[in-house]
Amino acid sequence: MKEAALIGKRYRLDELLAEGGMGEVWRAHDELLDRPVAVKILRRSLSADPLVAERFRREARAAASLSHPNMANVYDYVEEADAPGIVMELVEGQTLADCIAEKAPMDVTEAVTLIDQVLDALDAAHATGVVHRDVKPPNVMIGADGRAKVTDFGIARALGESTLTETGTVLGSVHYVAPEQLHGGGAAPPGDLYATGVILYEMLTGKRPFEGETPVAIAMSRLSKDPISPRAWRKDLSPAMEAAIMRALERNPVDRYATAMEMRAAIDTAATGRPPAKPEPAAKMDGTMILPAAALPADATTQLDAGATTQLRPQAERNQRTHKPLFARKAVRAGLFILAAVLAVLAVGAMFRSRTPARVHVPTFDRLAYADAQKLAEKNHLEVRVTRRVQNGARPGTVLSQTIAAGTVVKSHTTIPLVLSLGPPECCKIPDLDGMTIDEAQSALTRAGLALGDVSFAESEKATGTVIDQSPNAGTFQSRGEKVDIVVDKAPPAKKKRGKGGHD
Protein backbone atom coordinates (compact mmCIF):
# COMPACT_ATOMS: atom_id res chain seq x y z
CA MET A 1 0.00 0.00 0.00
CA LYS A 2 1.62 3.29 -1.08
CA GLU A 3 1.51 6.21 1.32
CA ALA A 4 0.09 8.52 -1.34
CA ALA A 5 -2.83 6.20 -2.09
CA LEU A 6 -6.37 7.55 -1.94
CA ILE A 7 -8.95 4.98 -0.87
CA GLY A 8 -12.68 5.32 -0.88
CA LYS A 9 -12.13 8.28 -3.22
CA ARG A 10 -11.53 10.54 -0.21
CA TYR A 11 -9.02 9.16 2.31
CA ARG A 12 -5.33 9.88 1.71
CA LEU A 13 -3.01 7.45 3.50
CA ASP A 14 -0.17 9.49 5.01
CA GLU A 15 1.70 7.32 7.52
CA LEU A 16 1.74 3.67 8.53
CA LEU A 17 1.16 3.70 12.29
CA ALA A 18 1.12 0.00 13.11
CA GLU A 19 1.05 -3.50 11.64
CA GLY A 20 -0.46 -6.54 13.31
CA GLY A 21 -1.96 -9.94 12.76
CA MET A 22 -5.22 -8.45 11.50
CA GLY A 23 -3.83 -5.78 9.21
CA GLU A 24 -2.44 -2.25 9.03
CA VAL A 25 -3.40 1.01 10.73
CA TRP A 26 -2.72 4.21 8.80
CA ARG A 27 -2.81 7.86 9.71
CA ALA A 28 -4.92 9.37 6.93
CA HIS A 29 -6.65 12.57 5.90
CA ASP A 30 -10.28 12.87 4.94
CA GLU A 31 -10.11 15.05 1.82
CA LEU A 32 -13.87 15.68 1.87
CA LEU A 33 -14.22 16.85 5.49
CA ASP A 34 -10.60 18.06 5.83
CA ARG A 35 -9.85 16.20 9.05
CA PRO A 36 -7.31 13.61 10.22
CA VAL A 37 -8.59 10.04 10.60
CA ALA A 38 -7.24 6.54 11.20
CA VAL A 39 -7.82 3.79 8.65
CA LYS A 40 -7.57 0.11 9.64
CA ILE A 41 -7.22 -2.19 6.61
CA LEU A 42 -7.89 -5.90 7.08
CA ARG A 43 -5.14 -8.30 6.08
CA ARG A 44 -5.82 -9.84 2.67
CA SER A 45 -5.30 -13.39 3.94
CA LEU A 46 -8.31 -12.80 6.19
CA SER A 47 -10.46 -10.79 3.81
CA ALA A 48 -10.05 -13.46 1.10
CA ASP A 49 -12.78 -15.40 2.90
CA PRO A 50 -16.10 -13.94 1.63
CA LEU A 51 -17.82 -14.76 4.92
CA VAL A 52 -15.17 -12.92 6.94
CA ALA A 53 -15.35 -9.93 4.60
CA GLU A 54 -19.12 -9.78 4.89
CA ARG A 55 -19.01 -10.06 8.69
CA PHE A 56 -16.35 -7.34 8.79
CA ARG A 57 -18.55 -5.05 6.70
CA ARG A 58 -21.61 -5.75 8.85
CA GLU A 59 -19.81 -5.28 12.17
CA ALA A 60 -18.06 -2.12 11.00
CA ARG A 61 -21.42 -0.60 10.23
CA ALA A 62 -22.79 -1.72 13.59
CA ALA A 63 -19.79 -0.18 15.35
CA ALA A 64 -20.47 3.09 13.55
CA SER A 65 -23.75 3.30 15.46
CA LEU A 66 -21.90 3.42 18.79
CA SER A 67 -20.90 6.79 20.20
CA HIS A 68 -19.27 7.48 23.55
CA PRO A 69 -16.52 9.81 24.83
CA ASN A 70 -14.38 6.76 25.68
CA MET A 71 -14.77 5.04 22.31
CA ALA A 72 -12.80 5.72 19.14
CA ASN A 73 -15.76 6.46 16.91
CA VAL A 74 -16.12 4.64 13.59
CA TYR A 75 -16.89 6.95 10.66
CA ASP A 76 -16.94 4.87 7.50
CA TYR A 77 -16.37 1.54 5.75
CA VAL A 78 -14.10 1.35 2.68
CA GLU A 79 -12.64 -1.23 0.34
CA GLU A 80 -9.37 -1.08 -1.55
CA ALA A 81 -8.22 -3.84 -3.90
CA ASP A 82 -10.56 -6.30 -2.18
CA ALA A 83 -9.12 -5.42 1.23
CA PRO A 84 -11.87 -3.96 3.46
CA GLY A 85 -11.11 -1.28 5.99
CA ILE A 86 -12.76 0.96 8.52
CA VAL A 87 -12.27 4.69 8.98
CA MET A 88 -12.25 5.81 12.58
CA GLU A 89 -11.41 8.67 14.86
CA LEU A 90 -7.68 9.37 15.04
CA VAL A 91 -6.59 9.45 18.67
CA GLU A 92 -3.32 11.30 19.10
CA GLY A 93 -1.38 9.67 21.90
CA GLN A 94 -0.14 6.21 22.81
CA THR A 95 -1.65 2.80 23.34
CA LEU A 96 -2.29 1.51 26.83
CA ALA A 97 0.24 -1.21 25.98
CA ASP A 98 2.95 1.45 25.56
CA CYS A 99 1.78 3.17 28.75
CA ILE A 100 2.08 -0.10 30.69
CA ALA A 101 5.52 -0.80 29.21
CA GLU A 102 6.76 2.61 30.33
CA LYS A 103 5.05 3.00 33.71
CA ALA A 104 4.03 -0.36 35.21
CA PRO A 105 3.64 -0.91 38.09
CA MET A 106 1.45 2.17 37.80
CA ASP A 107 0.11 4.50 40.45
CA VAL A 108 -3.20 3.12 41.72
CA THR A 109 -5.13 6.35 41.12
CA GLU A 110 -3.84 6.69 37.55
CA ALA A 111 -4.57 3.05 36.73
CA VAL A 112 -8.09 3.17 38.20
CA THR A 113 -8.86 6.41 36.37
CA LEU A 114 -8.02 4.78 33.03
CA ILE A 115 -9.83 1.52 33.81
CA ASP A 116 -12.94 3.47 34.85
CA GLN A 117 -13.04 4.99 31.38
CA VAL A 118 -12.62 1.58 29.72
CA LEU A 119 -15.50 0.26 31.80
CA ASP A 120 -17.64 3.28 30.90
CA ALA A 121 -17.13 2.50 27.20
CA LEU A 122 -17.91 -1.19 27.70
CA ASP A 123 -21.03 -0.36 29.69
CA ALA A 124 -22.32 1.80 26.84
CA ALA A 125 -21.59 -0.94 24.30
CA HIS A 126 -23.12 -3.72 26.40
CA ALA A 127 -26.25 -1.61 26.85
CA THR A 128 -26.78 -1.77 23.07
CA GLY A 129 -26.00 -5.49 22.85
CA VAL A 130 -22.44 -5.09 21.51
CA VAL A 131 -19.67 -7.21 23.07
CA HIS A 132 -16.10 -6.20 22.25
CA ARG A 133 -14.56 -9.72 22.52
CA ASP A 134 -10.94 -8.50 22.18
CA VAL A 135 -10.30 -6.07 25.03
CA LYS A 136 -6.54 -5.69 25.44
CA PRO A 137 -4.02 -2.85 25.97
CA PRO A 138 -3.22 -2.34 22.25
CA ASN A 139 -6.95 -1.71 21.68
CA VAL A 140 -7.06 1.16 24.18
CA MET A 141 -5.66 4.53 23.13
CA ILE A 142 -4.61 7.19 25.65
CA GLY A 143 -5.06 10.63 24.14
CA ALA A 144 -2.85 13.64 24.76
CA ASP A 145 -5.51 14.86 27.22
CA GLY A 146 -5.26 11.63 29.22
CA ARG A 147 -8.63 10.30 28.06
CA ALA A 148 -8.85 6.58 27.31
CA LYS A 149 -10.64 5.47 24.14
CA VAL A 150 -11.43 1.85 23.37
CA THR A 151 -10.99 0.87 19.71
CA ASP A 152 -11.92 -2.04 17.44
CA PHE A 153 -15.48 -2.66 18.62
CA GLY A 154 -16.94 -5.42 16.47
CA ILE A 155 -13.74 -6.43 14.68
CA ALA A 156 -13.18 -9.57 16.76
CA ARG A 157 -16.77 -10.62 16.14
CA ALA A 158 -16.38 -9.94 12.43
CA LEU A 159 -13.32 -12.16 12.21
CA GLY A 160 -15.01 -14.98 14.07
CA GLU A 161 -13.65 -17.58 16.46
CA SER A 162 -11.88 -19.52 13.72
CA THR A 163 -9.26 -16.84 13.31
CA LEU A 164 -8.09 -17.06 16.91
CA THR A 165 -5.50 -19.52 15.67
CA GLU A 166 -4.21 -17.14 13.00
CA THR A 167 -0.57 -16.22 13.61
CA GLY A 168 -0.42 -12.85 15.29
CA THR A 169 -4.03 -12.73 16.52
CA VAL A 170 -3.90 -15.32 19.27
CA LEU A 171 -0.48 -14.10 20.35
CA GLY A 172 -1.90 -10.69 21.12
CA SER A 173 -5.13 -11.86 22.74
CA VAL A 174 -4.45 -15.07 24.63
CA HIS A 175 -3.32 -13.21 27.75
CA TYR A 176 -6.69 -11.48 27.99
CA VAL A 177 -9.28 -13.88 26.56
CA ALA A 178 -11.73 -15.33 29.09
CA PRO A 179 -11.72 -19.08 29.92
CA GLU A 180 -15.22 -19.64 28.54
CA GLN A 181 -14.10 -18.30 25.14
CA LEU A 182 -11.22 -20.79 25.13
CA HIS A 183 -13.82 -23.50 25.74
CA GLY A 184 -15.64 -22.37 22.62
CA GLY A 185 -18.45 -20.61 24.47
CA GLY A 186 -20.11 -17.55 23.04
CA ALA A 187 -18.83 -14.10 23.89
CA ALA A 188 -20.77 -12.11 26.50
CA PRO A 189 -20.16 -9.04 28.68
CA PRO A 190 -18.44 -11.06 31.48
CA GLY A 191 -15.72 -11.94 28.95
CA ASP A 192 -14.99 -8.26 28.37
CA LEU A 193 -14.90 -7.70 32.14
CA TYR A 194 -12.45 -10.60 32.57
CA ALA A 195 -10.10 -8.99 30.01
CA THR A 196 -10.41 -5.64 31.79
CA GLY A 197 -9.46 -7.32 35.06
CA VAL A 198 -6.33 -8.76 33.41
CA ILE A 199 -5.40 -5.29 32.17
CA LEU A 200 -5.82 -3.74 35.64
CA TYR A 201 -3.74 -6.58 37.13
CA GLU A 202 -1.00 -5.84 34.59
CA MET A 203 -1.14 -2.07 35.14
CA LEU A 204 -0.76 -2.37 38.90
CA THR A 205 1.84 -5.16 39.04
CA GLY A 206 3.73 -5.06 35.75
CA LYS A 207 2.90 -8.78 35.43
CA ARG A 208 0.16 -10.78 33.73
CA PRO A 209 -1.90 -13.28 35.71
CA PHE A 210 -0.84 -16.17 33.48
CA GLU A 211 2.39 -16.67 31.56
CA GLY A 212 3.81 -19.57 29.57
CA GLU A 213 6.26 -20.50 26.85
CA THR A 214 3.55 -20.87 24.21
CA PRO A 215 0.06 -19.44 23.65
CA VAL A 216 -1.40 -22.89 24.22
CA ALA A 217 0.38 -23.19 27.57
CA ILE A 218 -0.94 -19.78 28.62
CA ALA A 219 -4.46 -20.71 27.59
CA MET A 220 -4.40 -24.07 29.38
CA SER A 221 -3.11 -22.59 32.63
CA ARG A 222 -6.14 -20.31 33.01
CA LEU A 223 -8.52 -23.23 32.48
CA SER A 224 -7.21 -25.12 35.50
CA LYS A 225 -5.45 -22.62 37.78
CA ASP A 226 -6.30 -19.50 39.74
CA PRO A 227 -4.13 -16.45 39.01
CA ILE A 228 -1.36 -15.48 41.39
CA SER A 229 -2.58 -12.84 43.82
CA PRO A 230 -1.59 -9.34 42.65
CA ARG A 231 -0.39 -8.63 46.20
CA ALA A 232 2.25 -11.31 45.71
CA TRP A 233 3.89 -8.90 43.26
CA ARG A 234 2.95 -5.64 44.98
CA LYS A 235 2.63 -5.60 48.75
CA ASP A 236 1.21 -2.07 49.00
CA LEU A 237 -2.01 -3.01 47.19
CA SER A 238 -4.97 -3.05 49.53
CA PRO A 239 -6.83 -6.32 50.24
CA ALA A 240 -9.92 -4.63 48.83
CA MET A 241 -8.19 -3.95 45.49
CA GLU A 242 -6.88 -7.51 45.43
CA ALA A 243 -10.42 -8.84 45.98
CA ALA A 244 -11.88 -6.55 43.29
CA ILE A 245 -9.35 -7.76 40.70
CA MET A 246 -9.64 -11.43 41.64
CA ARG A 247 -13.42 -11.34 41.30
CA ALA A 248 -13.05 -10.07 37.72
CA LEU A 249 -10.70 -13.02 37.05
CA GLU A 250 -13.02 -15.76 38.30
CA ARG A 251 -12.99 -18.76 35.92
CA ASN A 252 -16.77 -19.08 36.05
CA PRO A 253 -18.40 -16.04 34.42
CA VAL A 254 -21.37 -16.15 36.83
CA ASP A 255 -18.93 -15.46 39.69
CA ARG A 256 -17.70 -12.23 38.09
CA TYR A 257 -19.36 -8.85 38.07
CA ALA A 258 -22.76 -8.71 36.43
CA THR A 259 -22.11 -5.37 34.71
CA ALA A 260 -19.29 -2.99 33.89
CA MET A 261 -20.74 -0.45 36.32
CA GLU A 262 -20.73 -2.98 39.16
CA MET A 263 -17.06 -3.67 38.48
CA ARG A 264 -16.31 0.05 38.28
CA ALA A 265 -17.98 0.66 41.65
CA ALA A 266 -16.00 -2.15 43.29
CA ILE A 267 -12.69 -0.87 41.92
CA ASP A 268 -13.42 2.73 42.89
CA THR A 269 -14.36 1.66 46.40
CA ALA A 270 -11.15 -0.36 46.71
CA ALA A 271 -9.07 2.58 45.48
CA THR A 272 -10.62 5.24 47.74
CA GLY A 273 -11.58 3.17 50.76
CA ARG A 274 -15.15 4.42 50.60
CA PRO A 275 -18.16 3.55 48.45
CA PRO A 276 -18.81 5.73 45.39
CA ALA A 277 -21.18 8.62 45.95
CA LYS A 278 -24.75 7.95 44.94
CA PRO A 279 -27.37 10.62 44.25
CA GLU A 280 -29.87 10.96 47.08
CA PRO A 281 -33.12 9.41 45.85
CA ALA A 282 -36.27 11.45 45.84
CA ALA A 283 -38.84 10.42 48.46
CA LYS A 284 -42.60 10.29 48.19
CA MET A 285 -45.27 11.13 50.78
CA ASP A 286 -48.96 10.57 50.18
CA GLY A 287 -48.41 10.62 46.46
CA THR A 288 -46.59 13.99 46.58
CA MET A 289 -42.86 14.02 45.76
CA ILE A 290 -40.70 15.73 48.40
CA LEU A 291 -37.26 16.77 47.08
CA PRO A 292 -34.16 16.27 49.28
CA ALA A 293 -33.58 19.27 51.52
CA ALA A 294 -30.42 20.33 49.70
CA ALA A 295 -32.41 20.62 46.49
CA LEU A 296 -34.98 23.06 47.90
CA PRO A 297 -34.32 26.78 47.42
CA ALA A 298 -34.97 29.07 50.40
CA ASP A 299 -38.30 30.24 49.02
CA ALA A 300 -39.38 26.89 47.68
CA THR A 301 -42.77 27.07 49.38
CA THR A 302 -43.82 30.00 47.23
CA GLN A 303 -43.24 27.86 44.11
CA LEU A 304 -45.38 24.90 45.16
CA ASP A 305 -49.06 24.60 44.48
CA ALA A 306 -51.48 24.74 47.36
CA GLY A 307 -51.82 20.99 47.65
CA ALA A 308 -48.06 20.41 47.79
CA THR A 309 -47.50 23.27 50.25
CA THR A 310 -49.55 21.47 52.86
CA GLN A 311 -46.92 18.72 52.90
CA LEU A 312 -44.26 21.12 54.28
CA ARG A 313 -44.09 21.67 57.99
CA PRO A 314 -45.03 25.29 58.95
CA GLN A 315 -42.14 25.58 61.44
CA ALA A 316 -39.59 24.67 58.77
CA GLU A 317 -41.09 27.32 56.49
CA ARG A 318 -40.82 29.99 59.21
CA ASN A 319 -37.23 29.01 59.95
CA GLN A 320 -36.28 29.31 56.28
CA ARG A 321 -37.73 32.84 56.06
CA THR A 322 -36.13 33.92 59.34
CA HIS A 323 -32.62 32.99 58.19
CA LYS A 324 -32.95 34.06 54.59
CA PRO A 325 -31.17 37.47 54.98
CA LEU A 326 -28.19 35.87 56.78
CA PHE A 327 -28.00 33.14 54.11
CA ALA A 328 -28.14 35.78 51.38
CA ARG A 329 -25.26 37.76 52.92
CA LYS A 330 -23.13 34.62 53.18
CA ALA A 331 -23.96 33.67 49.61
CA VAL A 332 -22.88 37.13 48.37
CA ARG A 333 -19.59 36.91 50.27
CA ALA A 334 -18.94 33.40 48.91
CA GLY A 335 -19.75 34.56 45.39
CA LEU A 336 -17.31 37.47 45.65
CA PHE A 337 -14.58 35.16 46.94
CA ILE A 338 -15.11 32.71 44.07
CA LEU A 339 -15.09 35.55 41.54
CA ALA A 340 -11.80 36.86 42.93
CA ALA A 341 -10.27 33.39 42.74
CA VAL A 342 -11.39 32.94 39.13
CA LEU A 343 -9.97 36.33 38.14
CA ALA A 344 -6.66 35.43 39.80
CA VAL A 345 -6.46 32.14 37.90
CA LEU A 346 -7.26 33.89 34.62
CA ALA A 347 -4.58 36.49 35.30
CA VAL A 348 -1.94 33.83 35.99
CA GLY A 349 -2.98 31.93 32.88
CA ALA A 350 -2.73 35.07 30.77
CA MET A 351 0.74 35.73 32.15
CA PHE A 352 1.96 32.26 31.19
CA ARG A 353 0.30 32.46 27.77
CA SER A 354 2.07 35.73 27.12
CA ARG A 355 5.41 33.96 27.68
CA THR A 356 4.62 31.18 25.20
CA PRO A 357 5.29 32.10 21.57
CA ALA A 358 2.42 31.57 19.16
CA ARG A 359 4.63 29.79 16.61
CA VAL A 360 7.93 27.94 17.03
CA HIS A 361 10.55 26.20 14.92
CA VAL A 362 10.70 22.39 15.05
CA PRO A 363 14.13 21.27 16.35
CA THR A 364 16.12 18.24 15.23
CA PHE A 365 15.25 15.13 17.24
CA ASP A 366 17.36 12.75 15.12
CA ARG A 367 19.28 10.14 17.19
CA LEU A 368 18.18 11.59 20.52
CA ALA A 369 17.14 9.30 23.35
CA TYR A 370 13.40 9.43 24.06
CA ALA A 371 13.85 11.25 27.39
CA ASP A 372 16.07 13.88 25.73
CA ALA A 373 13.55 14.26 22.88
CA GLN A 374 10.79 14.94 25.43
CA LYS A 375 12.92 17.58 27.18
CA LEU A 376 13.79 19.24 23.87
CA ALA A 377 10.12 19.29 22.85
CA GLU A 378 9.08 20.83 26.18
CA LYS A 379 11.82 23.47 25.89
CA ASN A 380 10.48 24.42 22.46
CA HIS A 381 6.80 24.43 23.57
CA LEU A 382 6.04 21.26 21.60
CA GLU A 383 4.79 17.76 22.35
CA VAL A 384 5.89 14.42 20.93
CA ARG A 385 4.06 11.23 20.01
CA VAL A 386 6.04 8.08 19.32
CA THR A 387 5.73 4.89 17.35
CA ARG A 388 8.35 2.17 17.50
CA ARG A 389 9.91 -0.22 15.05
CA VAL A 390 12.72 -2.75 14.91
CA GLN A 391 15.78 -1.23 13.28
CA ASN A 392 19.23 -2.72 12.79
CA GLY A 393 22.14 -0.40 13.42
CA ALA A 394 20.32 1.94 15.80
CA ARG A 395 20.51 2.09 19.57
CA PRO A 396 17.19 1.07 21.17
CA GLY A 397 15.10 4.00 22.35
CA THR A 398 16.64 6.56 20.00
CA VAL A 399 14.79 8.65 17.43
CA LEU A 400 14.99 7.28 13.89
CA SER A 401 12.91 9.93 12.15
CA GLN A 402 10.44 12.76 12.64
CA THR A 403 7.39 13.37 10.48
CA ILE A 404 7.64 17.19 10.61
CA ALA A 405 11.05 18.29 9.34
CA ALA A 406 13.43 20.28 11.51
CA GLY A 407 13.13 24.03 10.90
CA THR A 408 9.42 23.89 10.05
CA VAL A 409 7.39 26.68 11.71
CA VAL A 410 4.39 25.31 13.61
CA LYS A 411 1.98 26.44 16.30
CA SER A 412 3.07 26.10 19.93
CA HIS A 413 2.14 22.76 21.54
CA THR A 414 1.94 21.03 18.16
CA THR A 415 2.46 17.26 18.50
CA ILE A 416 5.52 16.04 16.57
CA PRO A 417 5.30 12.33 15.59
CA LEU A 418 8.60 10.52 16.18
CA VAL A 419 9.71 7.01 15.28
CA LEU A 420 11.83 5.29 17.95
CA SER A 421 14.13 2.35 17.42
CA LEU A 422 13.47 -0.88 19.27
CA GLY A 423 16.85 -2.14 18.09
CA PRO A 424 17.08 -5.45 16.23
CA PRO A 425 15.04 -8.43 17.49
CA GLU A 426 18.04 -9.75 19.42
CA CYS A 427 20.30 -6.80 19.96
CA CYS A 428 24.09 -7.22 19.81
CA LYS A 429 26.49 -4.30 20.07
CA ILE A 430 29.27 -4.38 17.48
CA PRO A 431 32.72 -4.24 19.11
CA ASP A 432 35.55 -1.96 17.97
CA LEU A 433 37.86 -4.19 15.89
CA ASP A 434 40.42 -1.50 15.00
CA GLY A 435 44.01 -2.76 15.32
CA MET A 436 43.05 -6.42 15.87
CA THR A 437 44.36 -9.32 13.86
CA ILE A 438 41.87 -11.37 11.86
CA ASP A 439 41.80 -14.08 14.53
CA GLU A 440 41.33 -11.52 17.30
CA ALA A 441 38.52 -9.84 15.39
CA GLN A 442 36.76 -13.16 14.85
CA SER A 443 37.00 -13.99 18.57
CA ALA A 444 35.66 -10.56 19.56
CA LEU A 445 32.71 -10.92 17.20
CA THR A 446 31.91 -14.41 18.47
CA ARG A 447 31.86 -13.14 22.05
CA ALA A 448 29.47 -10.39 20.98
CA GLY A 449 27.10 -12.89 19.35
CA LEU A 450 28.10 -11.88 15.81
CA ALA A 451 30.06 -13.47 12.97
CA LEU A 452 32.98 -12.52 10.76
CA GLY A 453 31.93 -11.57 7.24
CA ASP A 454 34.00 -10.63 4.18
CA VAL A 455 37.69 -9.88 4.69
CA SER A 456 39.33 -7.51 2.21
CA PHE A 457 42.77 -5.90 2.15
CA ALA A 458 44.09 -2.40 1.59
CA GLU A 459 47.30 -0.50 2.22
CA SER A 460 47.53 1.85 5.19
CA GLU A 461 49.97 3.30 7.68
CA LYS A 462 48.90 0.80 10.34
CA ALA A 463 50.56 -2.48 11.27
CA THR A 464 50.38 -5.12 8.61
CA GLY A 465 47.70 -7.74 9.19
CA THR A 466 45.51 -5.60 11.50
CA VAL A 467 41.98 -4.29 11.01
CA ILE A 468 41.83 -0.77 9.59
CA ASP A 469 38.07 -0.54 8.85
CA GLN A 470 34.83 -2.39 9.54
CA SER A 471 31.21 -2.40 8.40
CA PRO A 472 28.85 -1.83 10.20
CA ASN A 473 30.64 0.60 12.49
CA ALA A 474 31.61 -0.11 16.08
CA GLY A 475 28.99 0.83 18.67
CA THR A 476 25.99 0.17 16.44
CA PHE A 477 23.59 -2.73 16.95
CA GLN A 478 22.79 -5.77 14.79
CA SER A 479 20.71 -8.91 15.07
CA ARG A 480 22.40 -11.88 16.72
CA GLY A 481 24.43 -13.88 14.19
CA GLU A 482 24.75 -11.01 11.68
CA LYS A 483 28.10 -10.69 9.88
CA VAL A 484 30.57 -7.84 10.19
CA ASP A 485 32.91 -7.17 7.24
CA ILE A 486 36.47 -6.01 7.89
CA VAL A 487 39.32 -4.43 5.92
CA VAL A 488 42.83 -5.55 6.89
CA ASP A 489 46.12 -3.74 6.20
CA LYS A 490 48.48 -5.40 3.73
CA ALA A 491 52.12 -4.68 3.18
CA PRO A 492 52.98 -2.40 0.21
CA PRO A 493 54.90 -4.02 -2.70
CA ALA A 494 58.27 -2.68 -1.49
CA LYS A 495 57.84 -4.47 1.85
CA LYS A 496 56.88 -7.83 0.46
CA LYS A 497 59.35 -10.72 0.60
CA ARG A 498 60.61 -11.99 -2.73
CA GLY A 499 59.96 -15.60 -3.58
CA LYS A 500 62.27 -18.15 -5.25
CA GLY A 501 63.70 -17.16 -8.60
CA GLY A 502 63.39 -13.47 -7.75
CA HIS A 503 59.67 -13.39 -8.54
CA ASP A 504 57.12 -11.83 -6.24
The correct CATH number of 359-421 out of 3.40.190.10, 3.40.640.10, 3.30.10.20, 3.50.50.60 is 3.30.10.20
How does the average pLDDT of the chain come out, rounded?
76
For 347-400, how does the pLDDT look when each residue is reduced to its tens digit (9 = 90+)?
A: 545 544 445 678 888 898 888 888 888 889 888 989 887 766 655 556 777 888
Q: Are 413 and 405 a contacting pair, CB within 8 Å?
A: no
> In terms of pLDDT, which residue wins out, 471 or 495?
471
> In terms of pLDDT, which residue wins out, 78 or 115?
115
User: What was the pLDDT predicted at 348?
Assistant: 47
Band of residue 77 on the pLDDT scale cut at 50, 70, 90 = confident
Whether the ω angle into residue 492 lies within 30 degrees of 0, i.e. cis, is: no
For 184-221, how does the pLDDT look when each residue is reduced to its tens digit (9 = 90+)?
A: 656 688 989 999 999 999 999 999 998 877 777 777 77
Q: Does 109 have pLDDT greater than 80?
A: yes
Tell me the CA distances in angstroms from 14 to 1, 4, 17, 25, 403, one per residue in order.
11, 6, 9, 11, 10
User: What was the pLDDT predicted at 327?
Assistant: 47
From the list 76, 64, 74, 190, the residue with the least C-alpha distance to 122 is 190
Within a 10 A sphere around the Cβ of 436, how many other Cβ atoms? 20
**Using the 8-state DSSP alphabet, how is residue 130 labeled?**
-
Just give the CATH number of 427-495: 3.30.10.20
User: What was the pLDDT predicted at 437?
Assistant: 92
User: What was the pLDDT predicted at 343?
Assistant: 62
pLDDT mean over 54-73: 78
Q: Are 201 and 207 a contacting pair, CB within 8 Å?
A: yes
Return the SS3 of 76: strand
For 138-182, how does the pLDDT look when each residue is reduced to its tens digit (9 = 90+)?
A: 889 998 888 999 988 756 554 444 333 333 343 347 888 888 877
Residue 198 half-sphere exposure, CB side, CA atoms within 13 Å?
26
> In terms of pLDDT, which residue wins out, 319 or 83?
83
User: What was the pLDDT predicted at 276?
Assistant: 55
Q: Does 474 have pLDDT greater than 70?
A: yes
Tell me whether the CATH fold assigned to 359-421 matches the one assigned to 427-495: yes
Return the SS3 of 201: helix
Just give the CATH number of 93-272: 1.10.510.10
Instruction: List, in order, residues 6 or more apart from 69 with CB less than 8 Å away.
Output: 120, 147
Q: State yes or no: is 299 an active-site residue.
A: no
User: What was the pLDDT predicted at 280?
Assistant: 41
Residue 266 CA, chain-centre distance (Å), reads 24
CA geometry: angle 133, 136, 140, nearest 5 deg: 105
Measured on CA atoms in the order 355, 360, 363, 365, is the torsion positive or negative?
positive
User: What was the pLDDT predicted at 110?
Assistant: 93
The catalytic residue among 30, 134, 192, 268 is 134
Q: Where are the domains of the chain?
A: 6-89, 93-272, 359-421, 427-495
Measured between alpha carbons, how far is 57 from 326 in angstroms, rounded to an integer? 65
Just give the CATH number of 6-89: 3.30.200.20
For 214-252, how does the pLDDT look when each residue is reduced to its tens digit (9 = 90+)?
A: 777 777 777 778 888 999 999 999 999 999 999 999 988
